[in-house]
Each structure stands twice: as C-alpha cells, then as structure tokens.
Amino acid sequence: MGRPRTALLDPERITTTALELLREQGEFSLPQVAARLGVRTGSIYHHVDNRAAVVELIRARVCAAIDADTLGSGPWDEAVTAWARSYRAAFAAHPYAVALLMTTPVRAPVVLEQYERAVRLLLGVGFAKAEVMTVITALENLVLGSALDLAAPETMWELPDDTTTPLLAEALAVAGEGAGPGARRADAAFDLALEAFVRHCRDRLHTAE
C-alpha cells in the first residue's frame, strides 16, 4: 500500500485515542489505538518513539488545563491555593489517566515551568531559599495524593465483610451522602488539607519575619 497522500496518523490523534481507551476501559495498548484508527500497530512508531512517549503526550494534554496564571498575581497564599486547586482539577477531569501518570517522573516542560514560577513567587514573598522546595514538594504531595484518591473513589475502599470494620463502614456511609459516591469526601479532604497547609505556611512566614 505504501505512503498515503495525506498522513493517517499524528501525535494528536494518537493521544486522543489513547485517552478514549483509558476512559472506556481504564487502560490502553498500542495495538488498540492502531485498530481504532484503522491502521497497523507498527505505523504508530512513525509518529512517536514508543509507548512511554504516548504517556508523556497524555500528561501534557492533561496538564495543559492547569492555570499557572494564578501564580503571577495577587497575594501569595491565594495564588498558591488557586494553583493547587487548578492542578488537582486537571487530574479530576481525567481520573482514568491518574494511575498512568502518577508513577512516572515529571518531564513535561509545561509542568516544570509552573514549578519555576512557584519558586519565584515564594522566594519573592520571603520564604527562605532552603525552605522553598520543601513547601512546593509538600504542596505537590498534597495535590497528587488527592488526585490518587480521585482516580477510583468508589473502588478505593473495598470492605470485605462489614462486620470486621463497622465504624469504618458507617463513617464512609455518612461521608458519602450528598454528591457522588466518594467525590464529596475526596473534595472535602483536599480542601481541609490545603487550608491546613497554607495556613501553616502563613504562620511560619510571619513568625520568621
């Protein structure tokens, strides 16, 4: 058959299809992506180095939704809070991709650039040079930990026989009322942790001055 007049594939379409498969079945394979695009598996390698590169494309797509402008203006505590919320919301929009993205290091320039901005903001507002990375890391842990919870809120807790953990079962039931299964609890937990952390940083900064 040879080369078509206009390319059948490109990184965009590969990424979109992989995300589709992730949403539908929680995972994806290159043969599946190829089949859905009406192409042979090997063809994918003409547009992408390997499977890991597809994962990075997905990360870039997901993280593109993070609003880093918040890091450029306003009071630092509000800026950092808004950034963390936006960061988490980006993952929340693609919960089925969280498991895939969580275990590989951050290489996406888009994301690294935002960390650069965060460092600049915190340095400018008076945090000690040796302390800045600790604060940012803690904030990142908070966001990623919450994102993990978001990945599969309903199935994250699999109680075998409720007789062994009655209090846990009841607490889960109470926490789950209102919105979706575990979504409300997950949101509340993130809000609580984020507020606690930012407040603590604020206190720290003031007593240091």
Partner DNA sequence: ACCTGAACACCGTTCAAGT
Interacting residues with DNA (CB under 7 A)? 1-4, 7-9, 28-32, 38-43, 45-47, 50-52
Cα–Cα distance for residue pair 147/29, rounded to 1 Å: 23
What is the distance, to the nearest Å, from the Cα of residue 175 to the centroid of all Cα atoms in its chain? Answer: 23
What is the distance, to the nearest Å, from the Cα of residue 171 to the centroid of all Cα atoms in its chain? Answer: 27
List the one residue from 93, 170, 179, 180 that touches its own copies (CB under 8 A): 170
Residue 206 lies near its own copies (rule: CB under 8 A): no
Question: What's the min distance (Å) between Cβ of 135 and DNA?
Answer: 36
List the one residue from 5, 49, 103, 207 that touches its own copies (CB under 8 A): 103
What is the distance, to the nearest Å, from the Cα of residue 79 to the centroid of all Cα atoms in its chain? Answer: 18
Cα–Cα distance for residue pair 34/2, rounded to 1 Å: 17
Q: Which residues in 172-201 contact its own copies (CB under 8 A)? A: 172, 174-175, 185-186, 188-190, 192-193, 195-197, 199-201
Question: What's the min distance (Å) between Cβ of 8 and DNA?
Answer: 3
Q: Are 183 and 149 spatial neighbours (Cβ–Cβ below 8 Å)?
A: no
